[in-house]
Chain A
Amino acid sequence: MTTPRADRGRNPDRSPLNWLLLLPIAIPLIPPLFNADEPRLFGIPMFYWLQLAFIILGVTSTTLVYRATRRGR
C-alpha cells in the first residue's frame, strides 16, 4: 500500500461531506434548542434525552466523513 506520487500536495481529507461535521459542533451549543423540561421521555426531561440524542448526530456525521475519506486497504 504505497501512496501514489500524484497524491503529493493534494489533500486526501477533502470531501464535501466534511461540512456535515459542523452540525454536531453547532447544534449542541445552542441551549434554546434543548433547555426545557417538557416533553419528557420515560420521565426524563428533554434537556437530558435530547442532548444524549445529539451523540447520534455526532456519530452519524463522523462516520459519513470517515467513509468518504478513508484510504483503501
Chain B
Amino acid sequence: MKTTEIVIFTLLFLVVSGMGFLAARWRRPGDLATLDEWGLGGRSFGSWITWFLIGGDLYTAYTFVAVPALIFGAGAMGFYAVPYTVVVYPMVMLVLVRLWSVSHVHNLVTPADFVRVRFGSPTLALLVAITGIVATMPYIALQLVGIEAVLKTMGLTGDLPLIIAFAILAAYTYQSGLRAPALIAFVKDSLIYLVILVAIIYIPAKLGGWDAIFGSAKEKFDTAGTGGITLNANNQLQYVTLAFGSALALFLYPHSVTGILASRNRNVIKRNMSALPAYSLLLGLIALLGYMAIAAGVTPIGKDSNTIVPQLFDKVFPDWFAGVAFAAVGIGALVPAAIMSIAAANLFARNIYREYFNRNATAAQEATASKIASLAVKVGAVLCILLIDPQFSIDLQLIGGVIILQTLPSVGLGLYTRWFHRGGLIAGWAAGMAAGMLLLYNIANPATNHDHFGGSAFPLSQLGFDTKITVYAGFLALIVNLVVAVLGTFVARALKSADGPDGTRAEDYFADQGDPRVHELETTAPAS
C-alpha cells in the first residue's frame, strides 16, 4: 500500500464527486426532467465548456493508458493515434455543423433520431441505435480498466474500490445529467495537462534525454525482432487505414454526438475544431511515455500492459505527485464514462423506449427512462469487468470501432445526400457488419494467445494476395457496406420499392442559433 498516493487520490476523487452532485445547480435550468436538459445540458454550452467537455469525452483515461501501452509493445504503430486525431477535425468540421443545425430544427438528440427523420425508417433508426449502444458499452467498461490500472499500482486490489468509484459516478450522473461531466471535465483536463507537462520535461531529464530514450527503445525492438521506432513496409497501409478509419468512426459514436449537440451554436463547433487538436498534442506526448517506460526499465504488473504508465509514474515521481497523476487518470475515466452512459441511455430512451414502448411519452417520462437506462448501462459495464475477463471488453471495444463505422452511410453520408434508399442502407449495414465480424474473426494474435479477434490488422494474404501487408478491418468492412448500399439502392429503385419520406428540408442543415426555425428551449438558462 502506498499511503501518500492513496490519500491524495482519494481527496481529489472526493472533490470531483462533490462537484458532480452540485452540477445539477450549475447554469440552473427551470426543469431538469427533459432530455434536452438532463441529456444535453440545455444545449447551451459555449466554446470553453464544449472544449473541455468534448476533449474530456474523446480523449479518455483508457486512451491515456492504452496508447502508451501500445507504443511500449509495438513501437511506431501505436503512434497512429496522432494522425488519427489530426485528420479527424478538418474532416468532420463542415459535417458536424450540418448535424447540429438539423438536430436543432427537428429537436433531435441522437444520431438514430436523425436517421429516423431523414430516411423515414424506424427499422434503420433502430439498427443505428443498437449499433451505437453495443459499440459504447465496452467503451464504458474500458474506462474501468483505466481506473483499475491505477488502483493496482497503488496496491489496492479487490473489486470494492472499483465498485465504490462507479457507484458514486452513477449517482451524480443520475442526478445532474450532462452537467456533471461538463463541470468535472475542467478539473480532469487541468490535472492531465499539468501531469503531462511535468512528465514530458521531468522524465526525459531524469533518463538522460530523448536520444537515450529512443536509443533504448530501438534496442528493445531490434532484440525482440518485432515492432520498431519507425514503420516497416508491411504495416504502413495498416497505419494509414487505421488512422483514417478511426477518424471516420469517432464522430459516429453516440457520445461524440452528445458533446456536439450540447453546444450553443455553429460557431462554437467550428471554433472547437481548431481548439481540440490541443488534446491531440497532449495525446502524442502521452504516447511517448511508452518509450520512456522502456528506457526507465519499467515492467507491467503481471501481463497487464495497461499498467505501464501508472508504473512509470510510480517509479519516477515523488509519492505526492504520483498521487496527483493517478487522480488525473482516475478522474479522467469518470468524464467519458458519464457522457457515454448518457449517450447510450438517450439512444435507449429515444429510439427504443419511445419508438416501441410508449409512443406518447412525455418529456419527463423520456428523461426518466434515460436516467434509469444510464444506471443500467453502468451496472452492465461493472459486471462486464468484474465477471468476465477484461480482455473481453478490450476485444469488444475493437469490434465496437468496426461496427460503429457501419453507420457512416446512413448518418454521415445521410447528412449530405438522400440518394440512398432505406432498403439499400439496411442491406449495406448488414453486409458491413457481417464482413467486419468475418474479418475480425480471422485475425489471429499469437502474442495474446488469440486465434480469433486478435486485433484490427487484417492480413491481405488471407484474401489470397501474396503479401505481408495488413489493412484495418473496419475500413474493408465499410467498403463492403458502401458497395452493397449503392447496389441495394439501385435494386430497390428498379423494383419500385417504397422509400421512406424525408422529414428534412435543404435549409434545415444551415439553421443557426437565433433562427426562427430553431426551437428555443424555454428552460434554457440565459447564455453566459
Contact = CB atoms under 8 A, between A and B. Distances in A.
Contact of B513 (A1, A52, A55): A1
Contacts of A47: 76, 79, 229-231
Contacts of A44: 210, 214
A52 B76 contact: no
B274 A54 contact: no
Interface residues of A, number: 46
Contact of B210 (A42, A55, A59, A62): A42
B90 A25 contact: yes
A17 to B, nearest CB: 11
Interface string B273-289: 11001001100100010
Contacts of A1: 513-514
Contact of B515 (A2, A36, A51): A2
Given A12-B512, A31-B236, 12 more contacts: A8-B507, A11-B510, A28-B86, A31-B231, A40-B210, A40-B211, A47-B230, A54-B82, A55-B280, A57-B86, A65-B90, A71-B266
Interface of B: 76, 79, 82-83, 86-87, 89-91, 93-94, 97-98, 209-214, 229-231, 236, 239-240, 243-244, 265-267, 270-271, 273-274, 277, 280-281, 284, 288, 506-507, 510-516
A62 B85 CA distance: 13
A58 B89 contact: yes
9 contacts: A12-B512, A29-B87, A43-B211, A47-B230, A51-B284, A58-B87, A58-B280, A61-B90, A70-B267
A43 B218 CA distance: 13
Contact of B91 (A3, A25, A57, A71): A25
Contact of B244 (A12, A29, A62): A29
Contacts of B515: 2-3
A26 B495 CA distance: 40
B119 to A, nearest CB: 22
Contacts of A70: 267, 270-271
B277 A58 contact: yes
Contacts of B243: 28-29
Contacts of B211: 40, 43
B240 A31 contact: yes
A64 B364 CA distance: 42
Identify whether the interface residues of A are mostly helix, strand, loop, or mixed. helix
Contacts of A2: 514-516
Contact of B82 (A13, A43, A51, A73): A51
Nearest to B506: A9
Give the 8 A-B residue pairs with the shortest CB-CB distance, closest first: A43-B210, A43-B211, A62-B274, A28-B83, A21-B90, A1-B514, A63-B274, A66-B270
A2 to B, nearest CB: 6
Chain B CB within 10 A, most for which of A10, A18, A58, A61? A58
A52 B87 contact: no
B90 A62 contact: yes
B295 to A, nearest CB: 12
B228 to A, nearest CB: 10
Contacts of B512: 3, 12, 71
A2 B516 CA distance: 7
Contacts of A21: 90-91, 93-94
A36 B86 contact: no
A48 B511 contact: no
Nearest to A22: B90
A51 B89 contact: no
A28 B277 CA distance: 14
A42 B273 CA distance: 29
B281 A7 contact: no
A36 B214 CA distance: 13
Contacts of A54: 82-83, 86
A7 B94 CA distance: 17
A26 B271 CA distance: 21
B267 A62 contact: no
B90 A43 contact: no
Contacts of A36: 230
Contact of A13 (B79, B265, B274, B510): B510
B516 to A, nearest CB: 7
B322 to A, nearest CB: 25
Nearest to A57: B86
A61 B212 CA distance: 35
A66 B76 contact: no
A60 B512 CA distance: 24
Interface string A11-43: 111000010011111001111000111001011
B231 A35 contact: yes
Contacts of A18: 94
B203 to A, nearest CB: 13
Contact of A66 (B79, B274, B507): B274
B208 to A, nearest CB: 10
B277 A48 contact: no
A53 to B, nearest CB: 10
A51 B209 contact: no
Contacts of B98: 13
A60 to B, nearest CB: 8
